[in-house]
Amino acid sequence: MKKKVHMIGNAHLDPVWQWRWQEGVTQVKQTIQSALDRLDESDDFVFVSSQAVMYKWLSLCAPGMIPEIKRRIEEGRFVICGGQWVQPDCNTPSGESFVRQSLYAQRLFKELLGVTATTAYNVDSFGHNAMLPQIFKKSGMNAYVMMRPGPHEKTLPANIFIWRAPDGTEIPVYRIHGSYTGNYQNYEDAENDIKATCDSIQDGIDSAMVFYGVGNHGGGPTKKNIALVREVKENYKNESDIFFSDPNTFFEEIKGKEALMPVVEDDLQHHASGCYSAVSELKRLNRRCEAELYFAEAYASITKKLMGLNYPMNEFRLAWEDVMFNHFHDAMGGCSAEQVFDDAYAFAGEALSIAARQKDISTQAISWAVDTSEMDGTPVVIFNPHPWKVKVPVTINFQAPSIKTLEGETLLSQHVYSPTKSCTWRDDTLFMAELPAMGYATYLIGGEAEKPESAVAAEPAKELQTSNNFDGGYIENEYLKVSFIPYNGYIKSIIDKTTGEELLNGCSAVPVVIDEYSHDAWSHAKNFFDKELARFSDAEISVVESGPLRATVKAVSRYNDSTMTQYFSLIAGERRLRVRAECDWREKYKMLKLAFNTDVGENPRIFYEIPFGYFERPC
């Protein structure tokens, strides 16, 4: 039986990488115009494209191109795949972010081009979380094209397989053999690529996709690329059916052959694992943007429904476009030119500003509607955006004599350091607030009152000790007692006071320096970071809070010119040790890990959060 070879003409276009987004805009226009020119020159050539942001840019900068693109789409020769705003990093964004990637992309494709994508398409992303089949399918995409990790990085039973998510959702997946852009320079290039791809497909499928064209900085299929494909097609016409095509056509063709496709119940990892720690500031800003936009949208919806306030849909769309653009795999992966991150921080700042303004409008409107006329004290309204109730420590910027509930109960509270102290000469007030799901609670600042007893305490470390005497400081509450080694700042012991059990099997909260000298920014072909060079030591330990509500020990340790500051806190009534770490990192070709040696017993099972789910991986 003849092999059917679908030749996929495409231009993988990185909107940022070794260039800033402004250059990406230019390359979009040049690439799409080149594709339209190739379509004019041929009756059978097909061009495949993804990334909705490209068409947003075209609609703004070259709107005259849109009607011609729509005409070619209607012909079936300009094919939109990948219903996402960009080809994102497929691990770091939240579940909601993945939904927004498809929501805004599919909406733009429909409104601007009259079509939505039915095949998901992330050919250069560095790994793929296990919940993507569910997210894609619910977003209107019933198949997936990917390439990384390659065969040398992850062994799969076949390059065409069924990917099953933890919830049971299944989609067919095609892993590209070779490259997502084959820029053929001679006949042998084209012939070898086609033959190697056909050889990589399991028996019985008899269909393959070969991807060609100039990519990364855009470009697309050249006249030479197309001519070489035609030459191979002619020479192999008795052995193979080679034709210009698209992923939608390919997946439609292999329907009914699912029995020949093995099922994969796994996430698709790892490629470029170093990208998940590189340029950590952008990753931190991304999570802040996601959280703040969720809060702002939730309460804007409430004030729209209950109070008739305006819901700022366009402002939220702009904010999400900023966040989604930053999800692009080479940006979120920390492997782009330095100027790319300057722009990314600006985009994140715009999104955070939009979220902050709307959050304030909504929460102010709700709090002003609370009737405080009969309340005995100054009211404080605290909001919880989560769909579950919480009991959390809250700090207010006021040195309150006491905190009371609306029922008159005096709560345990504590004066803590205020960031404004240098100009206000006062502390802030910490207390535990119980908040309803997706709602608010009102507390009162009262006068002097007798406070409840507390079970939290801190003991300063004794005089500087030698390594032969580990008897240092500790913090404890009703449930936990945490002891420290004074000369290096590590946790020596955590005792569960209800059982007397030791929870550690070695020193913990240990800053470990790892050798990365042989790694590039991506850590290509290096998935383990275990070459320990040294550990921070030479510590100074002090008690910075000693109750009644919270006790905190501060440990400052050093390595070369780098400094690690860790704050260890216990709150009365909580079975939890809170750790806040700040590092002044001045090392090169090294990475930092914070190690906790917990006693998890035999045969531990490790569960990891993934977007909209969790996944068990080897311990």
Could you give the angle at which helices 52-61 and 66-75 cross, rounded to 10 degrees?
140
Q: What is the CATH number of domain 378-446?
A: 2.60.40.1180
Contacts with 348 (C-beta within 8 Å, 6 or more apart), sequence order: 282, 285, 286, 288, 289, 322, 323, 326
Domain 3-271 listed as CATH 1.10.260.40: no
Backbone angles phi and psi of 170, in degrees to 5: -125, 140
- Per DSSP, 109 falls in state I
Amino acid at 161: F
pLDDT value for 1: 67
Query: DSSP alpha helices (H): ranges in 487-617?
Result: none
The pLDDT assigned to 467 comes to: 33
Query: Do residues 589 and 515 touch, judged by C-beta distance below 8 A?
Result: yes
Q: DSSP label at 241?
A: E
What number does CATH give the domain 276-368?
A: 1.20.1270.50
Token pair listed for 69: 């693109």
* Residue 494, beta-bridge partner list: 482
* Residue 327: closest CA among 81, 94, 45: 94
The span from the CA of 297 to the CA of 552, in Å, is 35
d(CA 54, CA 305) in angstroms, rounded, equals 35
Q: What is the pLDDT of residue 472?
A: 53
Tokens of 431: 């207390």
How many CB atoms lie under 10 A from the CB of residue 555?
27
**What is the number of alpha carbons within 13 Å of residue 458 lying toward its C-beta?**
22
Q: Are 548 and 572 in contact (CB under 8 A)?
A: yes
* CATH 2.70.98.30 domain span(s) along the chain: 457-617
Q: What is the CA radius of gyration of the chain?
A: 29
DSSP states of 384-405 as a string?
A: E-SSS-EEEEEEESS--SEEE-
How far is the C-alpha of 595 from the C-alpha of 581, rounded, in Å? 12
pTM for the model stands at: 0.95
3-state SS class at 181: coil
Apex 109 CA angle, 316 and 127, nearest 5: 80
| Res 471: pLDDT | 46
- Sequence-ordered list of residues with C-beta below 8 angstroms from that of 286, at least 6 positions apart, any chain: 92, 93, 323, 326, 327, 332, 348
Residues 6 or more apart whose Cβ sits within 8 Å of residue 358: 296, 297, 299, 300, 312, 315, 316
Cβ–Cβ contacts within 10 Å for residue 550, how many?
26
* Segments of the chain with pLDDT less than 50: 462-471
Q: Range(s) for CATH 2.60.40.1180 in the chain?
A: 378-446
Token representation of residue 388 = 């579950």
Which residue spans of the chain are classified as CATH 3.20.110.10? 3-271
Tell me how long the chain is. Answer: 619
Retrieve residue 251's tokens. Answer: 């997946």
CA 208 to chain centre: 32
Give the dihedral sign, CA 373/379/385/388: negative
Instruction: For CATH 1.20.1270.50, list the domain ranges present in the chain.
Output: 276-368
CA distance 174 to 163: 10
Residues 183, 153: Cα–Cα separation, whole Å: 24
Residue 490 backbone phi and psi in degrees, to 5: -75, 160
> Using an 8 Å Cβ cutoff, are 229 and 7 in contact?
yes
Query: Which residues share a beta bridge with 146?
Result: 122, 175
Question: What is the Cβ-side half-sphere exposure of residue 273, based on CA atoms within 13 angstroms?
Answer: 11
Cα-based distances in Å from 172 to 143, 144, 175: 5, 6, 10
3-class SS at 164? strand
C-alpha dihedral (521, 527, 531, 533), degrees to nearest 10: 40
Q: pLDDT digit string (tens) for 174-216? A: 999 999 999 999 999 999 999 999 999 999 999 999 999 999 9
Cβ neighbourhood burial of 444 (10 Å; 0-12, 13-18, 19+): buried
Written out in words, the top-level CATH class of the domain with range 457-617 is mainly beta
Assess contact for 146 and 119: CB atoms under 8 A. Answer: no
> In angstroms, rounded to a whole number, what is the distance separating the alpha carbons of residues 241 and 100?
39
Residue 459's pLDDT is 66
Copy the structure tokens of residue 165.
């998510």
